[in-house]
Structure 1
Amino acid sequence: MRPILPALICSLTLLAGHACAALPSTLAACTRSATLLACVDPQGNAYSVAAAGSTTYLRGFEVSGKRYWAQTNSRYGQLTFFTGLASDGEAWVGYSQRVGWTTRNRFSSSGGSRGQFTCSRITGC
């Protein structure tokens, strides 16, 4: 799995009010409306986040892999489940679980990658 997924999860935790200490020093330039966040980073990677009720839709373009991708997140209380698909056929699934000020994140992909990380409002990711 390419490194874009942890960055996306981190972006979503930022939207939820959590800090992400692992973000690079050159942040993306973003434009936001009531239901849409669109960002482009200095390398040319782009993504947008649209919210509709308890579902969040993400779409983007990854420069290094020259691929488009889409991800859907569904929130159920303190749990958020997500599934994604890239233009090269890679698929991924995972979840984020809020526990107090901490968010636990796990994911795996059809490319054989899997991982987990924890984010906190105090210490970041």
Structure 2
Amino acid sequence: MAQVVGMACFVSHCGWNSTMEGARNGVPILCWPYFSDQFANRSYICDIWRTGLGVTHGEDGVVTKEEVKAKLEQLTGDKGIAERARMLRDAARKSVSEGGSSYENFKRFVDLLME
């Protein structure tokens, strides 16, 4: 995902790449995990970072269009979620910028490989 301007939210299966793209771009995420680590990632997005909402399956295991519509309205109308998503974006950008923790750790790793 390239840097996105004006995107209201990101509907994601919550794979790690999608989770990082949503965080890096500072957009709220509508979480629709399917298996494996996607459920743990949804927990981070919804419960820890509080930058998204998860869809709820009906008793028949189906996510209805009404559920998706309601969650999208809630997600796009919640200024707190949007603000936390932007704060996460800013933290990620700072980390990978020159002098940031991820930048410096990667630089140290490359330096060790060069020895």
TM-score by length of 2: 0.25
Give the structure with the higher percent helix: 2
Give the structure with the higher percent strand: 1
Bigger relative contact order, structure 1 or 2 (CA pairs below 8 A, ≥6 apart): 2
TM-score by length of 1: 0.24
